[in-house]
Structure 1
Amino acid sequence: MPEGDTIYRLARRLGVLTGTQVQRSDFRVPRHATADLSGATVLGTTPRGKHLLTRFDHAGQALTLHTHLRMDGEWSIVGAGKMLPRRLMGDARLVLATTGATAIALRMPVVELLPTSAEEAVVGHLGPDLLDDTRPVAEVVAEATANLESQPDRALVSALLDQRLVLGLGNVWVNELSFLRGHLPLTPISEVDVGALVRLAARAMRFAVQPGGPGRVTTGNTRPGQRYYVYGRTGEPCRRCGTKLEFSPEVPNDPEVRHTWWCPRCQV
């Protein structure tokens, strides 16, 4: 599933629609099959963790398009008047043709159109977003820290993945942060300096979304296969101490147990 920094960059790409007017909309989901955004002005797209909120002014009515990529969804953006090849359009769940670019939601599992005033119904249960640029970073970090510390007996990795506590962290970040802070994945939250970990997470994620930057990297090495310390490196040597990395597979249908990698020497 795409992580918060990926969604943040995607929202930036969808920003090309901001200020344009919808010429044609085609909702290919049963719930909104008759919806029509023609004539609406695109006000912008805001990321909220792994969620996207695209707002419109439709003849004075404030509407929000809520999308979530989950594992397979994708937004494709093409030039004005253009369309994707026919072989791909069978996966389209929404087409937004504007006076600027055209945006096409492919295999999108969540496509919801709702009044902007009702946004909290779909994202109000979520925790603070580490990439929220409308609030001071210290305020976001403090709220996320308090949320995590409220569950002292919970394993570090499962707590960090809980979007109700803190937004945007996925399995890559969680595994890498555990390594960087020297904690075994199942360490109870009560044994972790949560504030330091959340500050590191916010700093790393904000670095990852810098325009023109290297993107997500924790090692400082952007060469292929060198970006991460532990994630995806089953059985390989630790980049710091050379110890063989260990791996634990996810448990199907259990969101608390995901693929996990760690160094048995560097993480204690």
Structure 2
Amino acid sequence: MPEGDTVWRAAHHLHEALAGRVLTSTEFRVPRFATVELAGETVREVVSRGKHMLVRTDQHSVHSHLKMEGSWHLYKPETMQRGKFRRPAHTIRAILRTDEWVAVGFSLGVIEVLPLADEDSAVGHLGPDVLDPEFDRDLAMANLATEPDLSVFVALHDQRKLAGFGNEYVNELLFLARLDPRTPVRDADLGPVVDRGVKLIHANRDRIERSFTGSIRAGQLHWVFGRTNRPCQRCGTTIRETSLGRVPTQERRVYWCPRCQPPVAGPAAGGRDV
């Protein structure tokens, strides 16, 4: 699933292309919004909120979530006419046309058109956005503290507590903090973890290759993520893998070094070792 920096970067590119321009036509290839037409409305801005994207016109908000496979691409109108897409045409879920650019959303997990005043119905549940220049750290820390028995891995994933960190960030941040992913929130100092995460996601948002190690060489971008059964790049211990989540259907892959991230006494809620 795309991380918050991926969505921020996509929103930034769409904003540069669409902001201030009048929509000449729109298509929403989902049954609920198939008859909606926003032609004549001016795009005011495109912003990200955590892993969500909002294209705001003077009257509406086009809300999308990329989920696992989604992406937004920009094309020139003449390219659209030739049907030369970078993804299969049958996966198109939304098209926003202006005189200069056409934004095409592929395989979007969520796409909906809301009155601007109703935007909070889609994103109002989110915690503070870690990429927001005015990120509310105090609120994020208060949110994390509301479930002291939850594992730190599950807590940092919860977009209602703070929005923007995905599986890649959570695994890497816990390694850097030397925290076992199963550690209960009550036994962890998450302030430095959040602070480092905010710095990392800001540093990565403009990079082509996301890096957590300081290196951009192939195979050296991560400490633990995706490195099951490979040696830890810090101590040489074999990286382990398991699954954690509030319930089995919400479990995510966990990667950690047993030596660099030693366990603490007492199990955490919201997870099981498999």
TM-score (norm. length: structure 1): 0.91
**1:171 has 2:167 as partner:** yes
Change in CA separation of 1:65 and 1:96 when aligned onto 2, cut-off 3 Å? same
Correspondences of 1:17-28 after superposition (within 5 Å): 17-28=18-29
Shift of 1:216: 2.1
Q: Distance in 2 between matches of 1:105 and 1:241?
A: 43
Shift of 1:253: 7.2
Correspondences of 1:33-112 after superposition (within 5 Å): 33-57=34-58, 62-83=59-80, 84-85=83-84, 88-112=88-112
Shift of 1:122: 0.8
Per the alignment, residue 246 of structure 1 pairs with: 240
Per the alignment, residue 149 of structure 1 pairs with: 145
Q: Distance in 2 between matches of 1:94 and 1:253?
A: 32
Structure 1 consecutive aligned stretches of length 4 or more whose deviation exceeds 4 Å: 249-253
Report Cα offsets for 1:47-106 as digits up to 9, x if no partner.
00010010012xxxx210000111121211111332143782221111111122101111
Tell me which amino acid in the other structure corresponds to 1:72.
E
Q: Distance in 1 between matches of 2:240 and 2:88?
A: 39
Change in CA separation of 1:255 and 1:9 when aligned onto 2, cut-off 3 Å? farther
Tell me which amino acid in the other structure corresponds to 2:251.
V
Tell me which amino acid in the other structure corresponds to 1:2.
P
Per the alignment, residue 229 of structure 2 pairs with: 235
Q: Distance in 1 between matches of 2:247 and 2:10?
A: 27
Tell me which amino acid in the other structure corresponds to 2:222.
Y
Residue pair 2:172, 2:223 contacting (<8 A) in 1 also: yes
Residue pair 2:154, 2:244 contacting (<8 A) in 1 also: no
Report Cα offsets for 1:175-221 as digits up to 9, x if no partner.
001100000010001111111111111111111114xx465211001
Q: 3-state DSSP class of the match of 1:43? A: strand
Residue pair 1:178, 1:185 contacting (<8 A) in 2 also: yes
Q: Distance in 2 between matches of 1:25 and 1:103?
A: 10
Per the alignment, residue 270 of structure 2 pairs with: none
Residue pair 1:158, 1:256 contacting (<8 A) in 2 also: no
Tell me which amino acid in the other structure corresponds to 1:129.
D
Tell me which amino acid in the other structure corresponds to 1:63.
H
Tell me which amino acid in the other structure corresponds to 1:258.
R
Q: Distance in 2 between matches of 1:227 and 1:254?
A: 29
Change in CA separation of 1:250 and 1:158 when aligned onto 2, cut-off 3 Å? closer
Per the alignment, residue 185 of structure 1 pairs with: 181
Report Cα offsets for 1:155-192 as digits up to 9, x if no partner.
01000111111101110000001100000010001111
Residue pair 2:154, 2:245 contacting (<8 A) in 1 also: no
Q: Distance in 1 between matches of 2:129 and 2:61?
A: 19
Shift of 1:39: 1.2
Tell me which amino acid in the other structure corresponds to 1:51.
H
TM-score (norm. length: structure 2): 0.89
Shift of 1:254: 2.8
Tell me which amino acid in the other structure corresponds to 2:57.
F
Report Cα offsets for 1:230-268 as digits up to 9, x if no partner.
000011111111111111146897355311110010112
Q: 3-state DSSP class of the match of 2:112? A: strand
Task: Percent identity, please.
Answer: 40
Per the alignment, residue 219 of structure 1 pairs with: 213
Shift of 1:26: 1.5
Per the alignment, residue 261 of structure 1 pairs with: 255
Per the alignment, residue 2 of structure 1 pairs with: 2
Q: 3-state DSSP class of the match of 2:255? A: strand
Q: 3-state DSSP class of the match of 1:90? A: helix
Per the alignment, residue 13 of structure 2 pairs with: 13
Report Cα offsets for 1:117-163 as digits up to 9, x if no partner.
11111111111110012x2x4xx222111111121110010001111
Q: Which runs of 5+ in 2 are unaligned?
A: 263-274
**1:201 has 2:197 as partner:** yes
